[in-house]
Structure 1
Amino acid sequence: MNHHRRPVLLGCGVLTDQSPDSYVWLQRAFMRSTCQVRPKSVITDGSDAVALAVETVLPQSNHRICSCHLERGIREHLDGYSAKAGFRSLMFEDSCSPVEFEERWHSFVASHRTASNLEWLLKMYVRRELWAAAFVGDKFFLGMVTDQSTECLCLSSGLRTGFSEDMTLLALLRRVDFRCKYMRAQEAELDEEADKSRVALTTEHKCLEEDAARSFTPANFAMVLEEIKALDDFEIVDTLSSSSDGSGDKVYTLDLHGELYNVLQSPGGDDQQDVFKCSCRKMERDGLPCRHILHVLEHERGSSIPRSCKLGWLQRQGGTRYQRLGVTLGRQVFDLASQDADEFEEIRGFLQDWLQQRNYSARDIADMSGADF
């Protein structure tokens, strides 16, 4: 998912079957293409073969079943509002611990199991660590756990339409290539729109809101804005400092109707902004600052959101015309050149010569500036 919360297509593979061995091969091929850089988190459709492959090839990555596929199971195997709402609460309520999950699950099964859904319920229980919020709620999934529309869009990447059984392999690859180009062009357009966009400030917290609007892309700013709107709901009931002069770590305790949250503020050192962490772990899960950290910032009269609460690739990619031109033009050149080996070598040779000449010119200027006249 890119900084506009839109899907990025890194690659695709064509398999002759859906066996575990085929998926293991596919994931290992993907790892070779990324020079063995392992994904932090993986979301799959939950099939046994895919899950086994992830466990084999990517055992250290966070793994979760797509909520879209879980919803299909809910609609197919559970009847009535109470049953469906009960299962969804186990999916999304991250305040539930693994021990509490066990208690709630057995109560849920006792109330809603039937002869037709018992096998599915047993399967879901065996896989509970791949979908229940008690097990995946604190893991890094960029907020996609509760954003099913984005999740489904990212998983499909628009590739699941336009296929037919009689399609040739060449036609399939052409469609994938076309989709890649379309997605890259769309990202470039969104970059340009984001750089040009200006939002009207709507809250009383002008400094934080303005900094968020300037820092994040519109899609991510919309999510941060919801946190800014809710920061007044809390009250700081206690503040602890690790040093008598207040220069060390500080822990703020926030209260909302008896529910407590702890925000840790650590000094960033020389010329560095302070680092903030919250017990709600929203930054660790979603990559965006929570309302509790924002409340502390407002309490301390902070004028901006610290860098520790801004993942670089969720922000705008540059606000100048030069940067927009460089990103867009460079992407177009390399996309076209990559289709022909000779053209690619020609472009690369040109750029190497240009860089070499620039380096020589830079050294000449440096020598001249240091010479005695």
Structure 2
Amino acid sequence: MAPPQIDRAESDAVLQELRRREDEDDCENFHHYELDAEHRLKNLFWADVDSRLGYLFHGDVVVFDTTYRTNNYGMPFVPFVGLSHHRTPTLFGCGIISDQSLDSCVWLLRVFLTPVHERPKSVITDGGDAVVAAVKIVLPDSNHRICSWHVEQAIEEHLHGASTRNEFRSLMCDACSPAAFEERWYGFMAKHRTAGNQRWLDGMFVHDKFFLGMASDQRAECLATRLHTGLHGAMSLPDLLRHADACAYGLRRDIAALDAEADRSRVELTTGHRRLEESAARWFTPANFYLLREEIKMIDSFEVVEAMARGHPTFGKKVYTVVFRQRRGVLFHVECSAGEAVRCSCRKMEREGLPCRHILCAMRHNGSSRIPDCCALGRMRRRGDTKSERLDEMEELGRQVFDLASEDAHEFKEFLEGWLDDRNAGLRGSGAIDVVDSNAAEDADSVTPEAKKTKLIEG
């Protein structure tokens, strides 16, 4: 049965409101639509400026589902959502399509990418054949997987027997190295692959791909639940637009509140690696810090049994072999390259965006107590907490300066005391204890750590 045709007055009202937003509110707001042969609304996508900015920060993983038919025309409502730096939902835009055909899905994906240009690293979708095919056409270089809820629904169809299904679920959820996963996966395929399920099983092999830890966490994928809650089959298109606006506002309000709370709060340090934990607390939002702290807790269960250099002595790599103390035959290899590039054979950093216990163990072995920049992705960090970032920068710079100053500690101590006296006198004279010249602050921020070090050493 074909869905009812969209009322012309409703579609005109929605399009008129979206045009007004671009003309009057912000020209960076975006919408695009497609009409059918009778000039009635067929497909629609819209994204306001905040959604587009959100995509710039958090658009590396995008989740969307075309299976919700929640309006009086039976048209799928498709919000594009992602995971914020607080691991909460964030909205990138919304679409309404006339059906779940390949043409409609391709149109929607292409329009979604029109105002943002950057392609996501990974996409999580429902399991519809048209959606899967559209992702391959429009995003051939992006990682793609079907969300856990849809995978669970398809298990009954593609795998037979309770033990086979449980073995598959274990494969999808257990944490192990890529090599161990491949061994288990190909063993499973050899036993249970058939002509009917081979294509479906091939789409499940995403163990070492970047999905921010959502590959085995069904709850984390339910990002669009809030946007679908409250929808009903009698809802008009203007009502649907207002509902999406209200949900988007609520999601952004929640993120802003978490930003403010993160800047005010100080997490409790509970591990025996205080300086490393302090560094992580400064860099990361609380939600990501708590995940990383679990890795910090595990450091003492591992040890470095070998460290060897490869390649050029300055620009080459250093490889640490890390062993699990309780099972010494389980080895992991951590590579540290020039420029602080770090990677581990477990590939947790590549999958989830947070450093693993093996990398942290190698850092401890190397005498480092600070999370390197390459292990602190921007999308995991606190927003606006520039003081913490400056403290990290000055702490590292201070170590270098004090190391040099130790050769003549008395002279350097006199220099610091004189500098502090002059600084305090200047502040008292101006009366501006808490006021900072914004231009001077910007200039100070633009100076590189190397230039700061040179200035401190020279004078």
TM norm. shorter chain > 0.5 = yes
Q: Is the 8 A contact 1:241 1:249 kept in 2?
A: yes
Residue by residue, what CA displacement relative to the aligned partner does 1:279-300 show, whole Å, maximum 9, x if unpaired? 1111111111010010011112
The TM-score, its normalising length taken from structure 1, stands at: 0.74
The answer as to 2:127 corresponding to 1:127 is: no
The TM-score, its normalising length taken from structure 2, stands at: 0.61
Q: Specify the alignment match of 1:102 in structure 2.
A: 186
Q: Specify the alignment match of 2:138 in structure 1.
A: 57
Identity over aligned residues, as a percent? 49
Residue by residue, what CA displacement relative to the aligned partner does 1:312-341 show, whole Å, maximum 9, x if unpaired? 1210012379xxxxxxxxxxxxxxxxxxxx
The answer as to 2:367 corresponding to 1:285 is: no
The answer as to 2:111 corresponding to 1:29 is: yes
The answer as to 2:214 corresponding to 1:144 is: yes
Query: For 2:92, what is the secondary structure of its paired residue?
Result: coil
Q: Is the 8 A contact 2:259 2:383 kept in 1?
A: yes
Structure 1 residues 300, 10: CA separation in 2 closer, same or farther (over 3 Å shift)? same
Q: Specify the alignment match of 2:42 in structure 1.
A: none
Aligned length: 302
Unaligned runs of 5+ in 2: 1-82, 388-437, 443-459
What's the CA shift for 1:267?
2.9
The answer as to 2:380 corresponding to 1:307 is: no
Structure 1 residues 176, 298: CA separation in 2 closer, same or farther (over 3 Å shift)? same
Residue by residue, what CA displacement relative to the aligned partner does 1:29-64 show, whole Å, maximum 9, x if unpaired? 111121x32111100011111001111111111111
Residue by residue, what CA displacement relative to the aligned partner does 1:132-190 show, whole Å, maximum 9, x if unpaired? xxx311111111113221122x2x25112111111111111110111111111111001
In 1: Cα distance, 2:317 partner to 2:112 partner: 42
Q: Specify the alignment match of 1:162 in structure 2.
A: 230
In 2: Cα distance, 1:27 partner to 1:279 partner: 34
Q: Specify the alignment match of 2:331 in structure 1.
A: 260
Output the amino acid matched with 1:296: A
In 1: Cα distance, 2:241 partner to 2:313 partner: 65
Structure 1 residues 124, 230: CA separation in 2 closer, same or farther (over 3 Å shift)? farther
In 1: Cα distance, 2:335 partner to 2:167 partner: 34
Q: 1:297 aligned to 347, 363, 382, which one?
A: 363
Structure 1 residues 217, 285: CA separation in 2 closer, same or farther (over 3 Å shift)? same
Output the amino acid matched with 2:211: F
In 2: Cα distance, 1:266 partner to 1:179 partner: 44
Q: Is the 8 A contact 2:304 2:320 kept in 1?
A: yes
Q: Specify the alignment match of 1:326 in structure 2.
A: none
In 2: Cα distance, 1:248 partner to 1:56 partner: 39
Larger Rg: 2
Q: How does 1:1-373 map to 2 (within 5 A)?
A: 1-34=83-116, 36-74=117-155, 82-93=163-174, 94-96=178-180, 98=182, 100-108=184-192, 124-131=197-204, 135-152=205-222, 154=223, 156-242=224-310, 248-256=316-324, 257=327, 258-268=329-339, 274-319=340-385
Query: For 2:271, what is the secondary structure of its paired residue?
Result: coil
Q: Is the 8 A contact 2:171 2:181 kept in 1?
A: no
In 2: Cα distance, 1:22 partner to 1:245 partner: 55
Output the amino acid matched with 2:341: V
Q: Is the 8 A contact 1:86 1:108 kept in 2?
A: no
What's the CA shift for 1:275?
2.5
Output the amino acid matched with 1:300: N
In 1: Cα distance, 2:97 partner to 2:311 partner: 60
Q: Which has the higher strand share?
A: 2
Output the amino acid matched with 1:63: H
Structure 1 residues 99, 235: CA separation in 2 closer, same or farther (over 3 Å shift)? closer
What's the CA shift for 1:80?
7.3
What's the CA shift for 1:83?
3.5
Output the amino acid matched with 1:208: L
Unaligned runs of 5+ in 1: 110-120, 269-273, 322-357, 363-373
In 2: Cα distance, 1:102 partner to 1:266 partner: 32
Output the amino acid matched with 1:62: N
Output the amino acid matched with 2:103: D
Query: For 1:33, what is the secondary structure of its paired residue?
Result: coil
Residue by residue, what CA displacement relative to the aligned partner does 1:76-123 show, whole Å, maximum 9, x if unpaired? 8778763432111232345445565233134246xxxxxxxxxxx765
In 1: Cα distance, 2:102 partner to 2:109 partner: 11
Q: Is the 8 A contact 1:7 1:157 kept in 2?
A: no
In 1: Cα distance, 2:119 partner to 2:230 partner: 31
